[in-house]
Chain A
């Protein structure tokens, strides 16, 4: 029976847990400079729970599988300071390739553009990308405005966003500006609270990743999806138009999130080579792809060059909106 096989694997895994516990609890500071070290650190600059944490942890076994020597990878959640704490931690670690971090892109460009970052994202050694996240714009069932035209004519549209200085609101602010909607952002602590607010009808507008909103708009129809920030329609929402169809094609580029992974600047070339190879193999592992699809977020591997190019473009794009962002954060 399937269960028996699973069970044996599971028990073994539990035995390993004690070891893991000790390493996780005591930081596992490895003094070796070699790469890959026995223990590597994957910095996640947000708290456990949520997409970044889930998908980063999902990738870990595949990185272990494809890195030479199958190193132990310890996940380190270092939340706070709008991702700055975790990014700094990685950025300032020894450039031996044993510490790396997941990023929220293009959101993480905002700190650099506003001058609050103590790092230069152009200098990060980009290893590749995990996935691409498509956003859906939804309105509340109780909202008075249920089409783009109505939204554009409305005297004021409220939107549930996560923290104003935060970058999660970036897409909403930019979209509202481009479409000529008078939007008033109402800050929330997390996307879940904002989505609930829209379900209650307290705010009109929320936009979050399709994978997050799927159960609310596809499974239960608690919110009305108006458009999708993508070049092509989603098979999950065949009737929902794309921003391109609505005449705002450039928003498809701007309001799309990526989950790239980076290591400190100036990695030695031999380390880079091993990493590039292993990261590419891990993100292209068929097993990993299966898991990502099951979680409603197909993997989207990128080569290090493609990732670095995306980063440069993202920084330029956010720079164009600097004044708009400042208006909302002052």
Chain B
């Protein structure tokens, strides 16, 4: 495979491939930015126009678009507290407070850099892993999924340090939401209130849009003023500081890239989870976590590194088995099949060049979108200085449109409004929206994998498998660590 490394590289620099890459990235970025639209939609939209196209060019276009989505989604997350895609939800937690402090440029700089390097990391792992990826993919089963979900849920304890009770109340609310829809064991529908729309549970995108964007729009209406609480000075140095911050926290970036890649590799866990787990890791691993949620740049770097590195990871099962690691990958797989390719064991053997082009484009697309981000940041930052009376209606409209766009259903819009009101109330009374989101996302994964494990192996299933047991021990250790640390300190003092 490695002997085709150079020809593949030449291929993507041969005109008109760069044009396709440019167009793909631009489109992917636009879809990322618009709430409600994301990777699956842009790929599905590009699908018909790739019919009859040269295979390599089609890949450049599709992967270019896919690569640009995660960073695109982070831009509105930072600027207006509205994640453009579910994968960028965790970027809101610290990205938006930074924008409020007039440091949106820094956040975008950090996000662009972490995204780009994260993607490169993911692609590098993908390249190295392709020969042995099989084993890695097959290592993870339901008990491991469950332990990953548990690990993510344990983050709630850390984010709710202001009031553990309020944090737990919020978490339980989120877990209750996650029980709506099909029961994973009996297959009967729970708490759907007679609506078909709730059979599959609460859709994440409308819920996120409600919790963040609409909640924020309400807040803006009431508060007046503008998002950034400082005067506009238009400094470029902020952006540079953002870029630098990634290198200053390189260890964190590196660990979060690993987290993202691993979660990407595991089919069925998905992008919506990777950014939360990385965020949680940043929180739990930092010595001074009190600034998280109030505008800590590390809270931007962590999820951004993870949500971009996961694409490289998600390509591992897609390319090795032809089994998609995420919804984007499922659409991509469909597109490749229509182009006459068959991702899976045969493509790896017969068309190594195509596989490499795919990986290179993933990297190139990410570099390009990050450059767009860095050079466009100065302009984007101005958005946070627009008076709230002008901005709030726009945010409101974009949010409602976004929740309508994903599936074209008015029900999703109503859902967003309900979550918007909820978010507003929660903010007023000091409940953590982050805890609701984490519980909602991970609750469903935890339920399903918990039952699958019990059905196949019983309780011992969780503890007899090395990875599962290891994850469990790490989770317990992370939860207990602050208490043990405090106890030791106390003892030392006395």
Contact = CB atoms under 8 A, between A and B. Distances in A.
A164 B187 contact: yes
B324 A49 contact: yes
Contacts of A190: 268
Contacts of B45: 17, 20-21, 24
Nearest to A78: B407
Interface stretch (B48-56, B95-103, B165-173, B239-247): B48-56
B238 to A, nearest CB: 33
Contacts of B405: 25
Interface residues of B, number: 67
Nearest to B30: A21
B144 to A, nearest CB: 11
Contacts of A7: 16, 54, 57
Contacts of B191: none
Nearest to A14: B23
Nearest to B318: A192
Nearest to B406: A77
Contact of A48 (B196, B321, B331): B331
Interface stretch (A32-40, A51-59, A267-275, A307-315): A51-59
Given A49-B327, A330-B186, A57 B407 contact: no
Contacts of A166: 187
B43 interface: yes
Contact of A61 (B19, B51, B317, B334): B51
Interface stretch (A195-203, A232-240, A243-251, A258-266): A195-203
B49 A17 contact: yes
B49 A16 contact: yes
Contact of A187 (B137, B138, B184, B344): B184
A244 to B, nearest CB: 29
Looking at chain A's contact residues, the main secondary structure is helix
Given A10-B57, A27-B408, A54 B327 contact: no
Contact of B330 (A17, A49, A203, A214): A49
A329 B188 contact: yes
Interface in A47-81: 47-50, 53-54, 57-58, 60-61, 75-81
A61 B51 CA distance: 10
Interface stretch (A129-137, A215-223, A298-306): A215-223
A9 B452 contact: no
Contacts of B187: 163-166, 187, 328-329
A196 B321 contact: yes
A9 B40 CA distance: 24
A186 B456 contact: yes
Contact of A219 (B19, B182, B327, B345): B345
Interface string B120-152: 000000000000000001100110000000000
B346 interface: yes
Contact of A192 (B49, B196, B323): B323
A81 B452 contact: no
A215 B52 CA distance: 24
A9 B53 contact: yes
Interface string A267-307: 00000000000000000000000010011100000000000
B185 A81 contact: no
A192 B141 contact: no
Contacts of B54: 2-3, 6-7, 10
Contact of A53 (B57, B334, B451): B334
Nearest to A20: B45
Interface in B25-68: 27, 37, 40-41, 43-49, 51-54, 57, 61
A42 to B, nearest CB: 11
B149 to A, nearest CB: 14
A112 interface: no
B340 interface: yes
B196 A88 contact: yes
B43 A48 contact: yes
Contacts of B330: 47-50, 192
Given A9-B53, A186-B452, A196-B321, A84 B44 contact: no
Interface in B51-100: 51-54, 57, 61
Q: Which residue of A13, A192, A197, A328 has the most chain B CB atoms within 10 A of its CB atom?
A: A192
B407 A77 contact: yes
A58 B335 CA distance: 10
A166 B199 CA distance: 11
Contacts of A214: 342
A163 B182 contact: yes
B327 A48 contact: yes
A158 interface: yes
Contacts of B109: none
Interface string B326-344: 0101110110011010111
A259 to B, nearest CB: 14
B117 to A, nearest CB: 28
Nearest to A7: B16
Nearest to A82: B199
B331 A49 contact: yes
Closest 7 CB pairs of A and B: A49-B330, A164-B187, A81-B196, A215-B344, A165-B187, A13-B49, A54-B334
Interface of A: 2-3, 6-7, 9-11, 13-14, 16-17, 20-21, 24-25, 27, 47-50, 53-54, 57-58, 60-61, 75-82, 84-85, 88, 158, 163-166, 184, 186-190, 192-193, 195-197, 199-200, 202-203, 214-216, 219-220, 222, 291, 294-296, 328-330
5 contacts: A13-B49, A81-B200, A196-B268, A215-B344, A216-B322
